[in-house]
């Protein structure tokens, strides 16, 4: 029941996004002059082929103002629809295969007095079937994290260019520098740490088809707890830094903002609290981004993160549904494996969300430096 509530809350939060007030600001053309000091076009080289393909699909071929403002909404809608269909298609196929195998194993097991050995073989077969799609999802998630990390690191370079162009050399030791470089560090740490953790929990998940008295599940739980601790620690430090001086937010806390913060805090796994805490900073960052680089950065983050997040959500739903069916039918080996993999995907969602949040706040800070907000 709790899971259904969470899913419901998540969809309500997504629906609420459409009712967010949109801040409009005049386009700051001066900031685009910085491309004389820094090669902004080098951002594009950090993007993955998939991201470039989606950008191309919606009509953004290069980092130019004309391309960004001539985007056709119908193309964006088509691209979004394509992402959703692509994200749902594979998990649904996977669900049918898993349920087929689980039903066959249960049917065969019902003829035997002790179906434990057969369940183990069924679980092992299921592990082999799951490996191919899981490897694909994990690889695409890592590639998203690497892209975001490369992009955040590239933005540190932009920050240096902005600071030197604004003639404020004393900014080098200021709060904004601390924020941008801690953001860069956090995304680098998260990208580096998440890979071995996810690989380890995945391999433990595959091994949990063997009946080892819950050994693999316990080990994967410990690894997950340690990772959640690292994620929470980074989240706490990050939200501490961005709220320390409220550099981007004006401290406004309306009813709408409160509801969104509540929904985000409740629905996002692991990092819900952090994203909720930094919500006002995030919104302020988005309203400040009014130049080509900023808008391109945000569009790129959305295009990079959204397909993988949708794919992960589809897989989480599929794995949970399969685990529930296996649980009802009594296929224990499969239940453990499916639940461990689902928890791993939740960790990936949390990591990608926090890295994306870190990036958006970084962009906001870069823009504030020029705006004299610090």
Judged by CB under 8 A, the chain residues 96 through 125 that form the site for another protein are: 96-97, 100-101, 104-105, 108, 111-113, 117-118, 120-122, 124-125
32 contacts 291 by C-beta, under 8 angstroms: yes
Task: Give the total of residues touching another protein (CB under 8 A).
Answer: 38
When the beta carbons of 20 and 112 are compared against another protein, the nearer one is 112
When the beta carbons of 29 and 96 are compared against another protein, the nearer one is 96
Q: Helices 332-371 and 292-329 meet at what angle, rounded to 10?
A: 170
State how far the alpha carbon of 141 is from the alpha carbons of 168, 265, 353, in Å.
38, 23, 11
Residues 6 or more apart whose CB falls under 8 angstroms from that of 62 comprise: 41, 44
Nearest approach, Cβ of residue 13 and another protein (Å)? 32
State how far the alpha carbon of 56 is from the alpha carbons of 43, 67, 71, 306, in Å.
15, 10, 10, 16
Choices 95-103, 154-162, 315-323, 359-367; region in contact with another protein by CB under 8 A: 95-103
Nearest approach, Cβ of residue 234 and another protein (Å)? 22
How far is Cα 18 from Cα 268, in angstroms, rounded to an integer? 18
When the beta carbons of 184 and 344 are compared against another protein, the nearer one is 344
What is the end-to-end Cα distance of the chain in Å, rounded?
A: 46
Per-residue string for binding with another protein, 196-235, x by CB under 8 A? x--xx-xxx-xx-xx-------------------------
Nearest approach, Cβ of residue 121 and another protein (Å)? 4
Nearest approach, Cβ of residue 204 and another protein (Å)? 8
Nearest approach, Cβ of residue 109 and another protein (Å)? 8
Residue with tokens 């709060």: 175
80 contacts 14 by C-beta, under 8 angstroms: no
What letters, b where the CB count within 10 A reaches 16 and e where it falls short, cover 343-359? Answer: bbbbbbbbbbbbbbbbb
Judged by CB under 8 A, the chain residues 124 through 153 that form the site for another protein are: 124-125, 127-133, 135
Binding site for another protein (CB under 8 A): 93-94, 96-97, 100-101, 104-105, 108, 111-113, 117-118, 120-122, 124-125, 127-133, 135, 195-196, 199-200, 202-204, 206-207, 209-210
């Amino acid at each position: 029941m709790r899971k259904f509530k969470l899913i419901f809350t998540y969809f309500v939060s997504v629906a609420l996004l459409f009712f967010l007030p949109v801040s409009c600001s005049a386009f700051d053309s001066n900031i685009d002059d910085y491309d004389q000091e820094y090669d902004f076009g080098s951002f594009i080289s950090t993007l993955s082929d998939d991201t470039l393909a989606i950008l191309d699909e919606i009509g953004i071929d290069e980092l130019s103002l004309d391309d960004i403002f001539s985007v056709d909404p119908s193309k964006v809608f088509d691209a979004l629809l394509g992402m959703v269909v692509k994200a749902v298609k594979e998990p649904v196929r996977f669900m049918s295969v898993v349920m087929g195998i689980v039903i066959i194993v249960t049917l065969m097991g019902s003829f035997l007095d002790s179906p434990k050995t057969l369940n183990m073989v069924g679980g092992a077969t299921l592990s082999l079937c799951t490996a191919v799609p899981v490897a694909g999802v994990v690889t695409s998630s890592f590639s998203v994290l690497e892209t975001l990390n490369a992009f955040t690191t590239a933005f540190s370079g932009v920050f240096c260019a902005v600071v030197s162009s604004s003639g404020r050399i004393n900014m080098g030791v200021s709060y904004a520098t601390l924020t941008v470089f801690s953001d860069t560090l956090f995304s680098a740490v998260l990208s580096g740490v998440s890979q071995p953790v996810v690989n380890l929990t995945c391999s433990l998940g595959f091994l949990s088809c063997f009946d080892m008295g819950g050994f693999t599940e316990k080990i994967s739980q410990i690894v997950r707890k340690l990772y959640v601790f690292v994620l929470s620690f980074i989240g706490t430090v990050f939200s501490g830094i961005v709220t320390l001086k409220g550099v981007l937010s004006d401290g406004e806390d309306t009813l709408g903002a409160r509801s969104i913060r509540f929904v985000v805090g409740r629905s996002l796994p692991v990092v819900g609290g952090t994203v909720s805490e930094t919500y006002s900073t995030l919104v302020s960052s988005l309203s400040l981004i009014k130049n080509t680089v900023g808008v391109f950065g945000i569009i790129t983050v959305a295009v990079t993160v959204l397909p993988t997040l949708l794919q992960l959500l589809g897989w989480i739903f599929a794995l949970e549904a399969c685990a529930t069916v296996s649980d009802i039918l009594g296929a224990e080996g499969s239940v453990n494996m499916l639940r461990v993999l689902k928890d791993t995907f939740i960790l990936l969602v949390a990591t990608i969300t926090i890295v994306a949040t870190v990036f958006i706040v970084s962009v906001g800070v870069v823009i504030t430096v020029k705006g004299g907000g610090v």
